[in-house]
């Protein structure tokens, strides 16, 4: 028994430091991420209704920084400091992945509840597929292939499902008379911007850190740490708006439960595992796991808060799920197609690097990997 206890941490550490970890381990880490993200809005809705969203997010990001710093010292045994020219990239990652994404999400949870907030996360892989092409993270699919049109159909289906859920939510809000149309509509708009920010954060991280043979590519904890630091700075600058309302900075006692969960699980653990998985998988595969948080949120909210989706909103949810399935299947067929064209390459990492980063050192390093 003691031998098993000693071997488990060693296996986790070896898997984390392995340049090519088992695929099942990476997939399992993404499932853990979505489970952590899925239960977070349930706790926010249950225990944190009276806390200011911006101040709550400020405390979440600020407290997560020392946790990530400790993880970097333990896991990577060093603290790498960005160069001056690298600071804008980490600042952009912090604004997109931490500041805008987290703040918009918690604002949406207050307005539309954890169920709809989690259902809208299925738009993340749709945005991811679009951004992967626009940012040249992945190749433009050929127009004469079926998987190209099925991906387009998936995007349209998901967009239609999101629009249907928005209109249905507005009609039910009007009939209930509890929330105004604008209050509910703003929640849906926040979710659209939240999912877009998350997808863009993952795409930029993949393109400018993990596809450029950067020195940061082997330091996923440090990448997350510095991104979070700039996210906390952005939250602090935004909270200056409340400098004359000091009572806003007081967090209710019951908000301690979601705050501790947010710092340890939703921030430190989930973002670390996302960065690590983004290093070893295609970015579209990483974003494709985002809908897995829906069942966690639905089951959790049923038992904790008693929230349920309206019957017509299930139609919109099914359209988003259907769109996701089309996009994921299309990505799988597209990867097989390119592997047939380049049988000696590993399309997910090396061939992308060869295509997009053909400077002298990059080509030399890529050629060594391919051979």
Q: Does position 337 have pLDDT exceeding 50, yes or no?
A: yes
> Model confidence over 275-308: pLDDT tens digits?
999 998 888 778 878 877 777 777 787 778 776 6
Instruction: Locate 202 and state its tokens.
Output: 């993952």
CB proximity list for 140: less than 8 A, separation 6 or greater: 133
Q: What would the mean pLDDT of 113-123 be, rounded to a whole number?
A: 76
Q: Which pLDDT score is estimated for 7? A: 57
Q: What radius of gyration do the chain's Cα atoms show? A: 21
- Among candidate residues 310, 289, 307, the one with its CA nearest the CA of residue 298: 307
pTM metric for this prediction: 0.77
Is the pLDDT at 371 greater than 70? The verdict is no
pLDDT computed for residue 69 by the predictor: 95
Question: How far is it, in rounded angstroms, from Cα 313 to Cα 322?
Answer: 14
What's the confidence (pLDDT) of residue 163?
65
**Tens digit of each residue's pLDDT (9 = 90 or more) over 156-207:** 777 677 666 656 655 554 444 555 667 778 888 999 999 999 999 999 999 9
- Least confident piece of the model among 38-42, 208-212, 311-315: 311-315
> How far apart (Å, rounded) are the C-alpha atoms in residues 94 and 90?
6
The CB density around residue 53, as the number of other CB atoms within 10 Å, is: 18
pLDDT tier at 359, thresholds 50, 70, 90: very low
Using pLDDT thresholds of 50, 70 and 90, give the confidence band for residue 363: very low
pLDDT band at 355 (very low <50, low <70, confident <90, very high): very low
pLDDT of residue 167: 60
- Which position has the token pair 């088992």? 22
Q: Among 310, 264, 283, which residue's Cα sits nearest to residue 199?
A: 283
| Per-residue pLDDT tens digits for 238-282 | 999 888 888 888 888 888 889 999 999 999 999 999 999 999 888
């Amino acid at each position: 028994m003691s031998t098993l206890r000693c071997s488990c941490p060693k296996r986790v550490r070896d898997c984390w430091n392995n340049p090519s970890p088992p695929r099942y381990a990476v997939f399992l880490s993404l499932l853990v991420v979505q489970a952590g993200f899925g239960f977070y809005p349930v706790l926010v809705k249950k225990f944190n209704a009276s806390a200011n969203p911006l101040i709550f997010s400020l405390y979440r990001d600020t407290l997560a920084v020392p946790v990530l710093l400790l993880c970097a010292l333990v896991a990577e045994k060093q603290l790498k400091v960005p160069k001056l020219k690298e600071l804008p990239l980490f600042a952009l990652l912090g604004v997109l992945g931490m500041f805008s994404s987290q703040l918009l999400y918690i604002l949406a949870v207050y307005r539309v509840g954890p169920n709809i907030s989690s259902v809208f996360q299925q738009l993340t892989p749709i945005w991811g597929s679009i951004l992967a092409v626009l940012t040249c993270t992945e190749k433009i699919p050929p127009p004469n292939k079926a998987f190209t049109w099925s991906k387009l159909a998936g995007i349209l289906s998901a967009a239609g499902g999101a629009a249907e859920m928005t209109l249905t939510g507005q009609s039910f809000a009007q009939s209930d008379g509890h929330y105004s149309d604008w209050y509910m509509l703003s929640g849906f708009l926040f979710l659209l911007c939240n999912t877009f920010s998350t997808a863009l954060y993952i795409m930029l991280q993949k393109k400018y850190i993990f596809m450029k043979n950067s020195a940061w590519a082997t330091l996923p904890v440090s990448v997350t740490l510095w991104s979070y630091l700039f996210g906390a700075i952005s939250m602090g600058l935004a909270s200056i708006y409340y400098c004359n309302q000091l009572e806003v900075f007081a967090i209710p006692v019951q908000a301690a439960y979601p705050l501790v969960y947010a710092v340890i699980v939703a921030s430190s653990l989930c973002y670390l595992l996302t960065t690590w998985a983004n290093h070893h998988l295609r970015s579209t595969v990483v974003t494709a796991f985002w809908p897995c948080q829906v069942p966690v949120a639905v089951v959790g909210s049923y038992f904790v808060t008693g929230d349920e989706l309206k019957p017509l909103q299930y139609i919109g949810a099914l359209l988003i799920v259907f769109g996701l399935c089309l996009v994921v299947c299309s990505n799988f067929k597209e990867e097989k197609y390119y592997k047939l064209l380049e049988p000696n390459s590993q399309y997910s990492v090396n061939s992308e690097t060869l295509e997009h980063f053909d400077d002298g050192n990059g080509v030399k390093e890529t050629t060594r990997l391919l051979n």
